[in-house]
Copies of this chain bind each other. A is one copy, B any other.
Amino acid sequence: MTRTAEQRLLLGPGPSNAHPRVLAAMARPLMGHLDPAFLALLDDVQSGLRRLFATRNELTLPLSGTGSAGMEACLCNLLEPGDRIVVGVAGVFGQRMCEVASRLGAKVTPVTTEMGTVLRPEAMSEAITRVRPRVVAFVHAETSTGARQPVEEIAQAARDAGALVVLDCVTSLGGLPVEIDRWGIDAAYSGTQKCLSCPPGLSPATFSPRAVERARTRATKVSSWYFDINLLAGYFGGERVYHHTAPITAIYGLHEGLALIEEEGLEQRIKRHAEAAAALVEGLAEFGMEPLVAEQHRLPMLTAVRLPEHLHGAPEADLRRRLLDRYGVEVGGGLGALAGRIWRIGLMGENARLTNVESLLCALRHEWPERD
């Protein structure tokens, strides 16, 4: 049952295991970033991302950085110094949005909810009405707690107030429905290392015509040259003008990852995530681990569970280390205020399968420490 360091079963909050076909695609020889054959493949990737985001946004592209780069790219294009932003904070990644926006010179109004709970649309709506922000931003699937925020009501309130809406889809894309156009989202970003079953390194992102127009007409230049969508549109738009050298190999991988999703069908994939999560929650009850998040708000691809008290602190870290060393199974610890008290267990993309749930439960049965 022992796995070597390179046969990990990655059941943490990401990265998840990349599909073997994705890894094989990434081993293909390079083409140049202006090669017509590569640009055709990039066209496919951009079309595939549009389907996955359920959007007709022309500017839908793989940003050359990880999910956090996507967060920065969305916020830095839409915010100018002095702009007001309302951020829904339901965990660490909502907090990160506040920090990123603040560094860009924006006036940040956080609307905070306790970790493990979800944003209340009426609280967001009240803040939006009061602040009249340029941008409203929040996280769809909060990776630090496993909670799924209600998108439609918050986005509607933001649109009604004339604000642009930024949605973090890092953990949700490919495992939950994401409907950018129907929800009225103006900028959204994800990461390749969660439900897309690719390695980390790219941030699929999409910008609505309103977002593109906002970036075009802002009074100040975007502080980041690397992430300025006015420049990125030159390469990722129709003209294919050199901006920076695209990460060819990572884009090969994403191309294959998107093909796998289309072969399976997004609906079936979403169903598979839900089934695996249900089996996980049921199995963990045996160890007294209860989900952090109320059932109706739980994410399927990431389950946060409260640990029994005798495991808080060092014992939970020891147990995670034994699972990794002896079984090659990685699970994630808590972040922020929940560190040492919860686990975060991911069943993402390719990994959302009952067999992986069984592997984890089996390892736990062997290693679970009895209360002293």
Contacts and interface: CB of A to CB of B under 8 A. Distances in A.
Contacts of A65: 64-65, 69, 226
Nearest to A228: B103
A72 B6 contact: no
A334 to B, nearest CB: 12
A199 interface: yes
Interface stretch (A31-39, A178-186, A263-271, A306-314): A31-39
Interface residues of A, number: 64
Contact of A32 (B8, B28, B67): B8
B30 A17 contact: yes
Interface stretch (A50-58, A245-253, A363-371): A245-253
B8 A35 contact: yes
Contacts of A246: 66, 200
A82 to B, nearest CB: 14
Interface in A29-79: 29-33, 35-38, 64-69, 72, 76
A222 interface: yes
Given A37-B5, A64-B66, A65-B69, A330 B223 contact: no
Given A64-B65, A103-B224, A224-B103, A245 B191 contact: yes
A100 interface: yes
Taken together, the copies of this chain in the complex come to: 2
A166 B67 CA distance: 27
B103 A200 contact: no
A199 B248 contact: yes
A343 to B, nearest CB: 14
User: Most B CB atoms within 10 A — which of A27, A36, A105?
Assistant: A27
Interface in A223-276: 223-226, 242-250, 253
B30 A68 contact: no
Interface in A178-230: 191, 193, 199-201, 221-226
14 contacts: A5-B35, A6-B29, A8-B31, A30-B199, A64-B65, A64-B201, A66-B246, A68-B244, A69-B226, A69-B244, A200-B247, A200-B248, A201-B201, A201-B250
